[in-house]
Amino acid sequence: MRYFTSGEVSQTLGISVRTLRYYDQIGLVTPAKKEETGRRLYSSRELVVLEKILLLKSLSMSLEDIQKIINELTIEEILTLHKEKLENKIQDLQYSLQQTHSLSNTLKLEGDLDWNQLLPLVRENNKRAGTNRWENHFNEDEQKILQEDLPKMEDPSTKKWINIIKRSQFCIERELTPDSEEALTLAEDCLLLSEDFFNGDEQLQQKFWEARKSEETSKEMGLYPIPSDVLDFLEKATLCYEKN
């Protein structure tokens, strides 16, 4: 049988020699042999136990709990625990990625943000998940359609709406009228996007637009605030487009 020194085990498993000594002191992993010089020697059996400990530690399990169950868990049970840990990590990463997309799209709308704006936004996004009061304005079927189809800040499709808002602001800054060529093109693009998101349901589209124009209602529903002058310009441009 081959034996491994503390140094070899340390290099192989990435465990410090001090940790190996501590595990020996508490009786968690005892070396197969101890020479008179004090050198500890480990067999392949101890290496397997150490690998189990590393895996259980990655599941945020305390050494006290590991010591109680290390010899009771089957390979299947350990793999199941590890799988659950990985799935939780994936969920956390997916949520972090969504938040990053949200902040990135918000930055494109705002132009510039500082930490005092970013941190409250993250807290507000977390809070909105359970406090949006859609039921005050739409029935259950309408809520389902809107919440499934409308773009969220983390969605790639949000870039199209960001473009609409920025183009509207550009028209306003240049003092273009709602019946100008630029405004009519903008209104056409807005209507095409709306038709996709509302699946041609003009009644729901109009109902949502009325809610969107209200700053109070938009805030209550957890929607990103759009400047009132932009909404007013888009509405007038749309009316002009529909008349032509």
Q: Name which residue leads in pLDDT, 233 or 67.
A: 233
Share the mean pLDDT of the chain.
Answer: 78
**What is the per-residue pLDDT for 185?**
92
Distance between CA 84 and CA 61 in Å, rounded?
A: 13
Q: What structural domains does the chain harbor?
A: 4-73 (1.10.1660.10), 132-243 (no CATH)
Distance between CA 16 and CA 26 in Å, rounded?
A: 16
Distance between CA 97 and CA 126 in Å, rounded?
A: 14
- Whether the CB-CB separation of 153 and 105 falls below 8 Å is answered with yes
130-150: b or e for each residue (b if 16 or more CB lie within 10 Å)?
eebebeebbeeebeebbeeee
Give the model's confidence band at 130: pLDDT under 50 very low, under 70 low, under 90 confident, else very high: very low
At residue 107, does pLDDT exceed 80?
no
**What is the per-residue pLDDT for 47?**
93
Give the model's confidence band at 178: pLDDT under 50 very low, under 70 low, under 90 confident, else very high: very high
Give the model's confidence band at 164: pLDDT under 50 very low, under 70 low, under 90 confident, else very high: confident
Using one digit for the tens of pLDDT, what is the confidence trace for 40-98?
999 999 998 999 888 888 777 778 878 877 877 776 777 777 787 778 778 877 777 77
Instruction: Report which residue type is found at 202.
Output: E
**What is the per-residue pLDDT for 87?**
81
The burial of 238, by beta-carbon neighbours within 10 Å (0-12 exposed, 13-18 middle, 19 or more buried), is given as buried
Place of tokens 């093109």: 185
- CA R_g for the chain: 30
Using one digit for the tens of pLDDT, what is the confidence trace for 204-221?
778 887 877 777 777 776
In the chain, the N- to C-terminal Cα span, in Å, equals 90
Q: Name which residue leads in pLDDT, 190 or 112.
A: 190
**What is the per-residue pLDDT for 181?**
92
Instruction: Report which residue type is found at 175.
Output: E
At residue 116, does pLDDT exceed 70?
no
Beta-carbon contacts of residue 162 (< 8 Å; ≥ 6 apart): 105, 108, 109
- β-strands 4-5, 33-34 pairing: unpaired
Instruction: Report which residue type is found at 216.
Output: E
